[in-house]
Chain A
Amino acid sequence: MLNFSRWAIFAIILPLAIGVLCAIPSFLPDATVAHLPRFMQTRVNLGLDLSGGSHLLLEASTQDVAKQRLTNMEEQVRTELRRGDPKIAIGDISARDGKLSFMVRDPAQVDAAVERIRPLTQGAGLTGQRDFNVEVVNSSTIVITPTEAGIKNAVKSAMEVSTEVIRRRIDEMGTREPTIQQQGDNRIVVQVPGLQDPKALKALLGQTAKLEFKLVDTTANPSEVAQGRAPVGSEVLPYVNNPSGVPFIAVKRQVMVSGEDLTDATQGYDQSNQAIVNIRFNSSGGRKFGQVTSQNVNRPFAIILDGKVLSAPNINEPILGGSAQVSGSFTVESANQLAIALRSGKLPVNFVVVEERTVGPGLGADSIRAGLIASVVAVVAVAVFMFVSYGRFGMYANLAVAINVLVILGVMGILGATLTLPGIAGFVLTIGTAVDANVLIYERIREERRRGRNVVAAIEHGYKEASRTIFEANVTHAIAGGIMLALGSGPVKGFAIVLLIGIATSVFTAVTFTRMVVANWVRRTRPTDIHI
């Protein structure tokens, strides 16, 4: 055991040296690290509980997605059969129990109607399934049922789009280094370090920001509108700021221009210094808007956000340039927020905040300080204890622990792992357990010496016998750590990461590294007795 070849020494020192080097940037100020070469910029990220900030868990309603798809389908069917050429006359479309059904007036046209509807459905999944099933029942009724695979697909794509939209909206706010990740089927985790007041963030995320322009139905009977009834082809929408006092207004169902044609939105002011949102359309949106406004001069149109009417100004003249103003008793802040929401596209689903954790920067700083002090005290206490118990060998163990702490930080930096408050606890525990391996070895050596083995044989035996035990004990410990990592969330995960890395590195430093150091010392001094 005394002979470590040059290569073996190299193979032990090199990874440790790399680990220690990678830990150094974590202790340097930001400005210094920025000057280092890229591969040296490996730093341990601080969790929100240490840096301060907000953690939000958002959940999308999958029912919402299903319902919306059905509504879209209803619109498509209506447009295709009633407006398409040739027209096929159908009865009212009913959307009950999550499916659409309607009668075709002329039974002879049922097949033709099905032919026209089929292409509206799309493939879903790999088995050639469609996202909707179209069936004929009772010879003249067509039933359209959404399939499981179709809904699943729709939720998946809605989540992908949402993640992007949320990322863009948060980037617009100018906060640094946010983390936005999908979790499970219908959740998104948003973590923004340094953000103390997540109110504005939540307001932004709560908006689906679906913008539409529709003509106001001036023929509607005001008393019927107040009761929620609208003429055919129109619908009643809430209009809180209606000057007439009724909080409802009837608008045509047909959309003049929608948010998809939007290219830009900024906050601005109108002549009376009221906050407004300036919007600009793309060429086809601008053309449509120009056309409709030319034909409807002196009639009002409604600006609708998420199904609510913001304002219903009169069209004084055709708006041809492709840009318009949205007014609706905004404050500067709310106008700015709407502009951001519009710019970053609409969220395809509604999200609710199901979990929120916010830590002020003061507490985070306190925790870091307390954690550091505790770690230093723990290291010193353990080191002194090891020294008075094992003398020279205790110092070797201490050296191994010191290297181990740095290597864990280095590995965390390389992996981009996050250090959390429980992570610090994991550190302290690692310091305590890391010496366990050395304790096992040294106690074994003491035993072997008592049995009368010579120095070299005792050391050799001590390492050999203890290594097996250390390995077994660490495998079981790693099982617990692995389960924490797999099932845990938040603090449990943060703790597990440090623990697992610590288990792996401590076996290496406590067994392999100290063995090399001890062997080197024994070979140099050839002691006939050891003080252990």
Chain B
Amino acid sequence: MKLLKLVPDNTNIGFVAIRKWAFALTALLTVLAVGATAHKGLNLGVDFVGGLMIEAKFPQAVDTDKVRSTIGRLGVGESSLQQFGDANTVQIRLPLPEQGGAGAANAVVEKTRKAMTAQFPGVTFSRYDTVSGKVSGELIQNGVLAVVLAILGIAVFSWFRYEWQFGVSTFVAIVHDVLMTLGFFAITQLEFDLNIIAAVLTIVGYSINDKMVIDDRIRENMRKYRKMDMKALIDLSVNETLPRTVMTSVTILLALGALLLLGGHVLRGFTAAMMLGIIVGTYSSVYVSSSLLISLGLTPQTSEKKATRKGDYAGTAERVGPRDDGAKP
């Protein structure tokens, strides 16, 4: 049996040669993503803005306008409706009543349930969430903190583990991945909730996995081929790891594809975010972070030069210094 090889042996693709173009494209996409997020904003779920979310399941397909007018007559505030793929399930979002304390949210759910049952017999509320403004504020805070800490933690780890250039390029690439994901959610207006934070953190984790593998190979080759030109060395390293990068991305996309198509509507946004993140993360490992190493002045002699160039990047050199692992001649 002939084994499948997605990437032929001994590829020699010039990734680095087109890095200027790649940077330009990356910068453009990033600006677009940030612009879309700033302009359109994210469709934040009740987790983050507070309020009431009801998921109503109808026995047959239902007209959202009719649902909207039924709820509109109740005087419980502006409702926002969203239909899931199957047309039988509608997500209703309502603001949390400002007054009335603990029982008020419950009263709104009851009121809605009553009116809906009268209008659409057989409807069930398969789930509902109420989140107060105070809790949602904390959830936003913790979510943002988690993402920021994860990015910093990983960047610091790769800085300590390798040269500082790796820390910087990794940091840039991850920030890029996160911004792209935000842009995706701003453009699609898919609901952004707590689950998505988990997805973003996973993307960060995966994307870093990818970069570590390539970075590790670059460092290995830096020791092996001391005299090699850095551009050629990075091309070599990316090409050598390319079969793995593609294989792994494909297996994960296979798994996520199954989840996207069959995993149920609750996880759809979550899975979509992760799939996008895997693609973006793979792109940024190959085209952004590795090429950035050259712009940051990484050379095979970096370790030797470090002592003389200390002044250029005050303070960081001493920390990087001791980790030459016997690379000196």
Contact = CB atoms under 8 A, between A and B. Distances in A.
Interface in A476-532: 476-477, 479-481, 483-484, 487-492, 495-496, 499, 531-532
Contact of B127 (A199, A358, A484, A492): A358
Contacts of B39: none
Contact of A492 (B106, B198, B204): B198
Contacts of A356: 105-106, 128-131
Contacts of B253: 432
A422 interface: yes
Interface string A354-392: 111111101100110011011101100110011011110
A429 B126 contact: no
Given A352-B102, A469-B216, A476-B212, 9 more contacts: A353-B106, A356-B106, A389-B247, A429-B202, A432-B255, A473-B213, A477-B206, A488-B142, A491-B194
A488 B127 contact: no
Interface string B98-141: 00011101100010000000000000111111111011000100
Contacts of B261: 374
B76 interface: no
B244 A492 contact: no
Nearest to B170: A476
Contact of B251 (A371, A385, A469, A492): A385
Interface string B212-233: 1100110010000000000000
A425 interface: yes
A443 to B, nearest CB: 4
B321 interface: no
Interface string A92-133: 000000000000000000000000000000000000000000
B265 to A, nearest CB: 9
Contact of B209 (A353, A377, A477): A477
Interface residues of B, number: 79
B13 interface: no
A374 B149 contact: no
B255 A431 contact: yes
Contacts of B157: 475-476, 479
Closest 4 CB pairs of A and B: A370-B264, A432-B252, A480-B205, A432-B255
Given A388-B4, A428-B256, A440-B244, A355 B135 contact: yes
B252 to A, nearest CB: 4
A450 interface: yes
Given A357-B129, A428-B258, A476 B209 contact: yes
B197 interface: yes
Interface of A: 49, 57, 59, 198-199, 202, 206, 351-360, 362-363, 366-367, 370-371, 373-375, 377-378, 381-382, 385-386, 388-391, 421-422, 424-425, 428-429, 431-433, 435-436, 439-440, 443, 446-447, 450, 465, 468-469, 472-477, 479-481, 483-484, 487-492, 495-496, 499, 531-532
A489 B205 CA distance: 18
A473 B208 contact: yes
Contacts of A355: 129-132, 135
Nearest to B263: A374
A431 B259 CA distance: 12
Interface stretch (B59-67, B267-275, B307-315): B267-275
A188 B263 CA distance: 32
Given A352-B102, A354-B134, A473 B212 contact: yes
B1 to A, nearest CB: 7
A366 B150 CA distance: 33
Given A443-B244, A480-B205, A49 B130 contact: no
A473 B170 CA distance: 13
15 contacts: A202-B106, A356-B131, A359-B127, A362-B124, A362-B126, A371-B267, A374-B258, A381-B255, A389-B247, A465-B220, A483-B146, A484-B150, A489-B139, A492-B197, A499-B202
A433 B209 contact: yes
Contact of B142 (A202, A440, A487, A531): A487
A424 B127 CA distance: 19
Nearest to A434: B251
A390 B267 CA distance: 32
A468 B267 contact: no
B105 A385 contact: no
B251 A435 contact: yes
B68 interface: no
B255 A206 contact: no
A465 B263 CA distance: 37
B212 A389 contact: no
Interface in B168-217: 194-195, 197-198, 201-202, 204-206, 208-209, 212-213, 216-217
A288 to B, nearest CB: 34
Contacts of A473: 208-209, 212-213, 216
Nearest to B254: A381
A499 B132 CA distance: 29
A429 B146 contact: no
Contact of A484 (B9, B105, B201, B241): B201
Contacts of B209: 433, 436, 473-474, 476-477
A4 to B, nearest CB: 26
Given A358-B128, A496-B198, A385 B3 contact: no
A472 B212 contact: yes
Contacts of B129: 355-358
Contacts of B130: 353, 355-357
A439 B102 contact: no
Contact of A390 (B3, B9, B264): B3
Contacts of B57: 362-363
Nearest to B107: A199
A313 B209 CA distance: 75
Contacts of A388: 3-4
Nearest to B134: A354
A389 B4 CA distance: 5
* Residue of B105, B154, B258, B270 ringed by the most chain A CB atoms within 10 A: B258
A492 B259 contact: no
B124 A351 contact: no
B212 A491 contact: no
Contacts of A206: 102-103
B251 to A, nearest CB: 5
B55 interface: yes
B154 A491 contact: no
Nearest to B149: A483
Given A389-B3, A488-B142, A531-B3, A480 B154 contact: yes
Given A358-B128, A367-B264, A472-B216, A483 B244 contact: no
A488 B146 contact: yes
B264 A371 contact: yes
Contacts of B244: 436, 439-440, 443
Contact of A421 (B55, B250, B266): B266
B17 interface: no
A490 to B, nearest CB: 6
* Residue of B202, B248, B274 ringed by the most chain A CB atoms within 10 A: B202
Nearest to A370: B264
B243 A202 contact: no
Nearest to B132: A354
